[in-house]
Structure 1
Amino acid sequence: MDYVAPKDFVTKMIDAGEAKVFMSTRDTLIRSFMAGAILALAAAFAITITVQTGQPLLGAVLFPVGFILLYLMGFDLLTGVFTLAPLALIDRRRGVTLGGVLRNWGLVFTGNFAGAMLVALMMAVIVTFGFSQAPDAVGEKIGHIGEGRTMGYAAHGAAGMLTLFIRGVLCNWMVSTGVVAAMMSTSVSGKVIGMWMPIMLFFYMGFEHSIVNMFLFPSGIMLGGQFSIMDYLVWNEIPTVIGNLVGGLSFVGLTLYATHSRTAPRRQPFAGDRSEKIIPVAAE
């Protein structure tokens, strides 16, 4: 069987976090750049499907293809390292420091942003024929997404900010579940099946993913969306990043680590417990 037991895949999570902390700057940037670019292409693909078919569910069903490919190629998303890298620190792996974890997060953020921005620029060129005409239907949709998910939150003030943060939490709860699900199997088919559902769920439910947003909002600005870079940062990217960190680490990384790697001692039976079976006596 290709199923990996929880205790074993949690060990793999800690090992993966340690490896990411000690990865070279060059490799970290290359892997995160490619992850951001591939996920951005997957988002553009899903939006195109939604616009052309009028079926958002179909776009969500097919979006996980990009996530699965980048994971199988060993590329890194910020949402994944938010969950995995701290576990190596908590487990007191030799040489792992808070500075090392923060360095990894910073490099992955930079690489993801660069990759997503490149695809945003490429898609803006495609949907406007090199900025020579107004955006097509896909370009208009991307621009409206950016408006709704910045100014739409801002219109509700603190309640909008809370909603944005919670959507970020729920997003990385699901995305990190997908990352871990891939470690539950040793076969490609098992990994794909495990990753598909949580990634499809987050996309269809409209949860906020910091790397997907690195594509959606810059491209939305290029395509005439009525919001500014500051609107994007304050009313989406920064709260989303914080929510992604809280969601992935709290609901996936720490919970699995606590119960499968640092399992609490087993309860002992009470002194008055009886182990003998009571056999009823038949009536005469």
Structure 2
Amino acid sequence: MAKNFLTPAETAQSFIAVGDYKTKMPVTKILVSSFLAGAYIAFAAQLMTTVTHDMVGYFGVGFSSFIGGSVFGIALVLVLVAGSDLFTGNTLLSMGWLNNNLTTTQVLNNWFLVYVGNFIGALFLLWMMFSSDIWSGHGNEIGAHAVAIAYKKTHLTFMEAFTRGIGCNWLVCLAVVIVAAGQDTMGKIIGAWFPVMAFIASGFEHCVANMFIIPAGLVAKLNPGVAEVVATNHPTWDLNSLNFYSFFVNNLVPVTLGNIFSGAVLVGGIYWFLYVRDAKVNS
């Protein structure tokens, strides 16, 4: 009977070929593919925001975080099974670089293009959500929850954001590895879901998700009704501190660096060391 999964060694070897393919894609294809991934992640982030906006009062923080992670799991299912390019997953290109299959320029060029495409896709979904007026739902509570999530994310210290970024992409890249190992659709879906649920429920930080989540809070707070609900729920908060500076400096930059470290080193680097390096030497 044929096995329905690849071994860790076989999976690690497959990433070398995938890296060659990804870095040789035309720029337009990279941008379009990464646009889709940014949009898919944003869909999941909006779903999580809507589903959990009033849960804490009924079920507590822990279970609400679990449900949020559970519904956000659709993100990586869409990215990996439906097909697109996500910056955090592409940090695994480090395996090809360590194997001398890819140059530094090839890796950095791919990362830059995918990062930009992801951002554009996330902002496109932001425009859709703003135009749909979904944030005014449930007496502006959905929008207020979007603002609250963004506010908390932009009030982390650099080290908090960096280490939460490490934890996030360690799990996300393990999901990528599991999906690559799976040989049937259901196995890939389950493999994508569990690690993503874990990173959301744990409170870790994903740079592409935050490309939607924090701008969503920045836009939603401009709605007077939403701002009033936020002021009622969190009277000590200064919403002026939720701004583009805090978005980039307090969150996006350190989270991105943390995501790169865990994906490129803790998963890509270690898996290359364990399963690819010796195979190359022996060949």
Match of 2:153 among 149, 158, 174: 149
Match of 1:250 among 261, 265, 273: 265
Tell me, yes or no, if structure 1 residue 230 matches structure 2 residue 238.
Answer: no
> What is the CA-CA distance between 1:53 and the residue it aligns to?
4.1
Match of 2:169 among 154, 158, 172: 172
> What is the CA-CA distance between 1:251 and the residue it aligns to?
1.2
Amino acid at match of 2:164: R
Paired positions, count: 253
Tell me, yes or no, if structure 1 residue 67 matches structure 2 residue 69.
Answer: no
CA distance 1:63–1:163, shift in 2 (3 Å): same
Match of 2:105 among 99, 104, 112: 99
Q: Give the aligned partner of residue 140 of structure 1.
A: 144
Tell me, yes or no, if structure 1 residue 199 matches structure 2 residue 181.
Answer: no
Deviation sequence 1:147-184 (CA, Å, 0-9, x none): 1111x22xxxxxx2111110001110000010111011
Amino acid at match of 2:182: S
Deviation sequence 1:180-207 (CA, Å, 0-9, x none): 1101111111111222111100111111
Residues 45-54 or 211-220, more deviating:
45-54
Q: Give the aligned partner of residue 38 of structure 1.
A: 40
| Cα RMSD (Å) | 2.0
Q: Give the aligned partner of residue 216 of structure 1.
A: 213
Structure 2 residues not aligned, in runs of 5+: 57-63, 222-238
CA distance, structure 1, for counterparts of residue 88 and residue 200 of structure 2? 14
Q: Give the aligned partner of residue 228 of structure 2.
A: none
SS in 1 for 2:9: helix
Q: Give the aligned partner of residue 22 of structure 1.
A: 24
Match of 1:78 among 79, 87, 92: 87
Residues 164 and 240, structure 1, Cα contact 8 Å, conserved in 2: yes
CA distance 1:23–1:201, shift in 2 (3 Å): same
CA distance, structure 1, for counterparts of residue 131 and residue 65 of structure 2? 24
CA distance 1:184–1:73, shift in 2 (3 Å): same
Amino acid at match of 2:143: G
CA distance, structure 2, for counterparts of residue 135 and residue 263 of structure 1? 60
SS in 2 for 1:76: coil
> What is the CA-CA distance between 1:146 and the residue it aligns to?
1.2
CA distance, structure 2, for counterparts of residue 9 and residue 237 of structure 1? 30
CA distance, structure 2, for counterparts of residue 99 and residue 56 of structure 1? 39
CA distance, structure 1, for counterparts of residue 217 and residue 65 of structure 2? 19
Residues 99 and 277, structure 2, Cα contact 8 Å, conserved in 1: no
Q: Give the aligned partner of residue 50 of structure 1.
A: 52
Structure 1 residues not aligned, in runs of 5+: 154-159, 265-284
Q: Give the aligned partner of residue 178 of structure 2.
A: 181
Bigger CA radius of gyration: 1
Deviation sequence 1:213-264 (CA, Å, 0-9, x none): 0001111111115311111000000111101000111111111110111239
CA distance, structure 2, for counterparts of residue 69 and residue 134 of structure 1? 28
Deviation sequence 1:50-108 (CA, Å, 0-9, x none): 1244433222112111211221122011101112x222222122xx3211111101100
> What is the CA-CA distance between 1:46 and the residue it aligns to?
1.2
Q: Give the aligned partner of residue 11 of structure 1.
A: 13
Deviation sequence 1:118-161 (CA, Å, 0-9, x none): 111221233468x9x998211111111111111x22xxxxxx21
Q: Give the aligned partner of residue 112 of structure 1.
A: 118
Amino acid at match of 1:230: Y
Q: Name whichever structure is richer in helix by fraction.
A: 2
TM-score by length of 1: 0.84
Moved >2 Å (runs of 4+): 52-56, 124-129
Residues 135-144 or 37-46, more deviating:
135-144
CA distance, structure 1, for counterparts of residue 86 and residue 123 of structure 2? 14
SS in 2 for 1:240: helix
Between the aligned residues of both structures, percent identity stands at 31
Tell me, yes or no, if structure 1 residue 123 matches structure 2 residue 129.
Answer: yes
> What is the CA-CA distance between 1:4 and the residue it aligns to?
0.5
TM-score by length of 2: 0.84
